[in-house]
């Protein structure tokens, strides 16, 4: 046995440590190899209706066919401001709307020159990744 003084958070402790090794009883270290376990499929947890959180408001679905390039939400968040109107011409890089995600304001810009054909969302709407925002033709 070896004795040591150890100080933890300003308080001293006297400890005795037993040395284990090849010199005492022929101890050898052999790492334990875990056997591969078969995992059963994990079922999704059931949420009782009393504790379920309310679903966020989804963006309205596009109504009717609209031609042009559909700009979708790159991440979940809330629409803070819409900077364009339907029929307004835009250039590539123009700010179309502001999306707040994780307390950050993200500028969503036009990917190309064109005209705003349809706005599929509104201010203060909560959107999910991939929800339609604006169609630019």
Q: What is the pLDDT of residues 26-72, one digit of tens each?
A: 555 555 555 555 555 666 556 655 555 555 554 444 455 667 889 99
**With 70 as the cut, is the pLDDT of residue 10 above it?**
yes
Question: What is the band of 77 on the pLDDT scale with cuts at 50, 70, 90?
Answer: very high
Can you give the chain as a three-state secondary structure string? CEEEEEEECCEEEEEEECCCCCCCCCCCCCCCCCCCCCCCCCCCCCCCCCCCCCCCCCCCCCCCCCCCEEEECCCCEEEEEECCCCCCEECCCCEEEEEEECCEEEEEECCCCEEEEEECCCCCCEECCCCEEEEEC
**With 80 as the cut, is the pLDDT of residue 25 above it?**
no
């Amino acid at each position: 046995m070896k004795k040591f003084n150890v100080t933890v958070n300003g308080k001293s402790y006297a400890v005795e440590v037993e040395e284990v090794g090849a010199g005492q009883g022929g101890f050898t270290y052999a790492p334990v190899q875990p056997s591969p376990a078969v995992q059963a499929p994990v079922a999704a947890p059931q949420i009782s209706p009393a504790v379920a959180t309310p679903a966020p408001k989804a963006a309205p679905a596009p109504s009717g066919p609209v031609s042009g390039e559909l700009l979708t939400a790159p991440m979940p968040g809330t629409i803070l401001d819409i900077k364009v109107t339907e029929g307004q011409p835009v250039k590539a890089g123009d700010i179309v709307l502001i999306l707040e995600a994780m307390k950050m304001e993200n500028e969503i810009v036009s990917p190309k020159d064109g005209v705003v054909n349809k706005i599929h969302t509104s201010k203060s709407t909560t959107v999910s990744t991939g929800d339609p925002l604006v169609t630019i033709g």
